[in-house]
Amino acid sequence: MNAVGATGASGSISLGAVLRFEWTKLAGRRITWVPFLVLTLVVLIIVTTFHHLQFIYARSLFKTFGFVFQNKDEFVNGYYMTAHAMNPVFQLLMPIFISVAAGLMVAGEAEHGTLRACLVRPVSRTRLLLGKFVMLAGYSLALALFAIVLLTATGVLSFGTGNLYSLNILFNNGQEGASMVPAAEVPMRLVGAWLLATTGLMILAAMALLISALVESAAMAYVLTLSIYFAFLTLRSFPFLDWLYPYLFVTHMLRWQQCFYSFVKTGEIYVSLIHLAGYLIALLAAAVLLFEQRDIKN
């Protein structure tokens, strides 16, 4: 390796050099690769289950909304599997993976003393933290892409394609009824859902990093982050609190679920995107400001 990353006019090294630094650390840690393994196992379990289930209960639910199916082959296909598997993957697994990665990035490094080893070098704290955010965002993006590609590929290979029928209540979006998306439209809907879901995860990444930048241990960071996330998710499961939904960040994080409606409400999606952008800026600004002022005591 020859003289990496020249120092800029500000005296600090470039964001690119910080990213290379973060990448080396991320890639070298075994725990970074565990989520990919977990996702693979989860997808394998889902495929196996889909092979064996008869979907009798789902069929009776569809019937109450006017979709009558004689057997599961009429509605269970690769798209159905992908869309429905996105729920646990993006609501449960991804937040856990991201919280852990974020917790290790700042609080974990503080705990192990490597944060102070970084900060006695002429690198701006803001740039270091933003570098970590970009790396975390990239990591989330890669995980999300991996999950959705693996799900779609195994789903389509095992069960073929077809129209996507879905029960709205499964997506917990406060809407009754069932939806149908024509087969030709599904790939675009999946891409849209992936993009929106990943954008939502960025908020969680920013929040996790903010918390990570403030506490002294990785465990504290991810316990706090996940507690906040799941507390808000729980609020969303009480129907009598539906007036509160638009003000909860998790509502906007889960807006991707609407991509599987019969008709996409673009207006609501734009509102969510604006909210997500607002949360992102606020969380990152808070993280940077507080991290600049924090005493590195470990």
Partner 1 sequence: MTALLVAEGLTKVFHRRFARGGDLCAVDDVSFTVHRGNVFGFLGPNGAGKSTTLRLILGLIYPTAGRVAIAGHDLSTDRLRALRNVGAFVEAPSFYPYLTGRKNLEIFTGLSGGVPAAEIDRVLELTGLKGREHEAVQVYSHGMKQRLGIAACLLPRPELLVLDEPTDGLDPHGIRQTRELIVHLARAEGLTIVLSSHLLSEVENLCNRVVILDRGRSILEGELAALERQCRRLEVSVDRPEKAAALLREKFGLAAEIHDTAFQAVQDHGQDARATGLHVVLDGTDLAAVNTALVQAGFAVRSLAPEARWLERIFLERTSSTDPGVRATEAQR
Return the closest-CA partner of residue 26 out of 107, 102, 111. Answer: 102
Q: Which of 69, 74, 93, 112 binds partner 1 (CB under 8 A)?
A: 112
CB of 259 closer than 8 Å to CB of 195: no
Does 154 participate in binding partner 1 (rule CB under 8 A)?
no
Q: Which of 52, 57, 66, 121 binds partner 1 (CB under 8 A)?
A: 121
Select from 20-28, 184-192, 197-205, 213-221 the region that touches partner 1 (CB under 8 A). 20-28
**Nearer CB in complex with partner 1: 73/292:** 292
Does 234 participate in binding partner 1 (rule CB under 8 A)?
no
Eight-class DSSP state of 9:
T
Per-residue buried b or exposed e for 126-144, using 16+ beta carbons within 10 Å of the residue's own CB: ebbbbbbbebbbebbbebb
Q: How far is the CB of 87 from partner 1 (least distance, A)?
A: 34
Q: Which of 102, 106, 107, 123 binds partner 1 (CB under 8 A)?
A: 123
Q: How far is the CB of 20 from partner 1 (least distance, A)?
A: 7
Q: Write phi, then psi, for 3 (nearest 5 degrees).
A: 5, 85
N residues, the chain: 298
Does 9 participate in binding partner 1 (rule CB under 8 A)?
no
Select from 6-14, 38-46, 51-59, 98-106 the region that touches partner 1 (CB under 8 A). 6-14
Select from 16-24, 89-97, 173-181, 223-231 the region that touches partner 1 (CB under 8 A). 16-24
Place of tokens 């003289």: 3
What's the CA angle centered on 245, arms 140 and 204, to 5 degrees? Answer: 20
CB of 165 closer than 8 Å to CB of 55: no
Q: How far is the CB of 31 from partner 1 (least distance, A)?
A: 10
Measure the CA–CA gap between 190 and 83, rounded to whole angstroms: 8
Residues in contact with partner 1 by the rule CB under 8 A: 1-7, 10-13, 17-18, 20-21, 24-25, 28-30, 112-114, 116-124, 293, 295-297
